[in-house]
Amino acid sequence: MYSFEFEKPSTIADAVAALATEEAQALGGGQTLIPTLKQRLAAPSKLVSMSGIPEMHGVCVEDDGSVSIGGATSHATVAREAAGSYSALAALAGQIGDPAVRNRGTIGGSVANNDPAACYPAGVLGSGATVVTNTRQIAADDFFQGMFATSLDEGEIITSIRFPVPQAASYQKFLQPASRFALVGVYLARFAGGVRVAVTGASEDGVFRWSEAEQALNKEFRSDALTGLRVNPANMIADLHGSKEYRAHLVSVMTKRAIEACI
């Protein structure tokens, strides 16, 4: 691992100032960044920790009923504190990694990294959440830009994420047991205005919405509404854990399980 400076600011303004330094990088829970540094795949001159900023921690219910989660909030905290206000999201958080990962990893770090097999991107996109940064608010549909890519600007910090609470929701994860990432994960949320279906772990392009399934479910919310529907396997991930066709098949299977869980 390369040597670097370390700062732990106590305010968002101080964090933004620290990140203005050339080659500085934000540090959430370090569950992705630290292994990257150990493998010498990155060499930032400075790490700026978000863990010491009080306003970036915790789960709260806003006046409009939405659930706001601070960017530095750990997965374990979301699993515990969001259980009463947004149970499906809390259940998602409780399935991430192992206890060590859940107690160190943060929602902001996970969403900013946008790993193609991470769970939170599906929850954010499936919920139609809003990513709040130090400078603006970004709709989930505009935030994810492809594998490991987002619309965040250099030095921009995810301060919180606001989730509208659906009438019903479910996250169904086909677990890759060694890494505990999603081989395929489907987050389905049913709102008064329609259904959203977000898929993670399957595509080379990262998290995506399965629009054909959404259209079918908006007409009839039942699992057999997906009969004959299948995602195109062309852009699916193929590796030693599963072929493109296998992952495409799993998308349908996990979506049907999510529907049944909502019903």
Q: What is the pLDDT of residue 41?
A: 74
Rounded CA-CA distance 4/237 in Å is 35
Q: Please give the structure tokens belonging to residue 79.
A: 């699993």
Average pLDDT over every residue of 43-55: 91
Confidence bin at 219 (pLDDT 50/70/90): very high
Could you give the domains of the chain?
A: 5-163 (3.30.465.10), 168-262 (3.30.390.50)
β-sheet bridge partners, residue 48 = 7, 26
Average pLDDT over every residue of 186-199: 98
DSSP the chain: ----EEE--SSHHHHHHHHTSTTEEEESS-TTHHHHHHTTS---SEEEESTT-GGGS-EEE-TTS-EEEETT-BHHHHHHHTTTT-HHHHHHHHTSS-HHHHHH-BHHHHHHHT-TT-SHHHHHHHHT-EEEESS-EEEHHHHEEETTEESPPTT--EEEEEEPPPSEEEEEEEE-TTT-SEEEEEEEEEETTEEEEEEESSBTT-SEE-HHHHHHHHH--SGGGGTT----GGGB--BTTB-HHHHHHHHHHHHHHHHHHH-
Q: What is the pLDDT of residue 24?
A: 87
Per-residue pLDDT tens over the stretch 221-257: 999 999 999 999 999 999 999 999 999 999 999 999 9
Global pTM? 0.95
Q: What is the pLDDT of residue 1?
A: 60
Is the CA virtual torsion 179, 105, 154, 119 positive or negative?
Answer: positive
Per-residue pLDDT tens over the stretch 127-153: 999 999 999 999 999 999 999 999 999
